[in-house]
Amino acid sequence: MSTTAPSTVVIKRPNTSPIRRMKRRLRRIAIMVPLLALAVWTVYPVLMTLAISFKSRADVSADPGLIPSNPTLDGYRSVLERQGFQDAFINSMVVGLGTSLLTVLLAVPAAYAFARFRFRGRHLLLLFTLLPRLLPGLGLMVPLYRLAVALGAIDQLLTLIVAFTATVLPLAVWLFVGYFQQVPRELEEAANVDGASLFTRIRYIVLPLAVPAIITVGVLAFREAWNEFNLVLGLTSTPGSRTLPYELFLMTQTTGFQDNPGQAAFAIMTIIPFIFVYLRLERYVVSGLTSGALK
């Protein structure tokens, strides 16, 4: 009876030579250094503004560090006591939410038509939708002002909502087109065979799958309306219609001397709500942006 020798298993050890380890470390350093520089470049101005908001006016120049030696809430108190801040905050919320809602309502059907229907000049028309994004905001102030005066729509929040929607709508359409093209046609074709109408397919198939894109467009539209200043300057004239950027501009111009802590506190109070909203919806925003980028 013959016996066979057991086969030996050869385990290949990874090549951990010093040169290879050094290359890996250099690659990590090459990646981490730009990311760290970008993080510092982005976060440092916010941290400096936050630090100034807790300082007194005298300490702004005497204490340039990021940690105030004598922290105070006088800057925030002056903002909350400022006449017009609460009205401007409410106006910004109304305009931001209205712009988000109107942008989604207009962009969804337009993007669905570009993504699903085939008609002559479709790609050229889709390209032309980006033309408003190429025009500077200052160049649009005079035409929009003349149009608002002709329509008797000066100093109205609805005018701001329509104007802001017009500026963000091209980007919203492009994002939705890229997202709708990722939705399998087979789902809609199966529903069509079962007798579902076009509206039913969009309502019960496309829109539930496009929730990340809808949230992304809503957040981008809200941010556009929340931060816009030039159009507010041209289309409003009374305190009742001003938004937060305009109110901050007036705070800078009307004070007899620079109230740096108050201005810094004003800026921090305007970005805190948006930061909380974004942190809650961050995963949907990232998903919507990456999916909309695939065309």
Write b or e for each residue in 5-30: b if 16 or more Cβ atoms lie within 10 A of its Cβ, otherwise e. eeeeeeeeeeeeeeeeeeeeeeeeee
Q: Are 266 and 200 in contact (CB under 8 A)?
A: no
CATH number for the 75-292 domain, one of 1.10.3720.10, 3.40.640.10, 2.60.120.330, 3.40.30.10? 1.10.3720.10
Residue that the structure tokens 């942190």 belong to = 279
Q: Are 54 and 68 in contact (CB under 8 A)?
A: yes
CA gyration radius, the chain: 27
Measure CA 191 to chain center. Answer: 34
pLDDT at residue 256 in the model: 53
pLDDT at residue 292 in the model: 46
pLDDT at residue 15 in the model: 52
Q: Show pLDDT as tens, one digit a residue, over the chain (295 residues).
A: 455 555 555 555 555 577 777 878 888 888 888 888 888 888 888 888 888 888 887 777 777 777 788 888 888 888 888 888 888 899 999 999 999 999 999 999 988 888 888 877 777 777 777 777 777 777 778 888 888 888 888 888 999 999 999 889 888 988 888 888 888 888 888 888 878 788 888 888 888 888 888 888 888 899 889 988 888 888 888 878 889 888 888 876 555 557 788 888 888 888 887 777 777 766 665 555 555 444 4
pTM of the full structure: 0.77
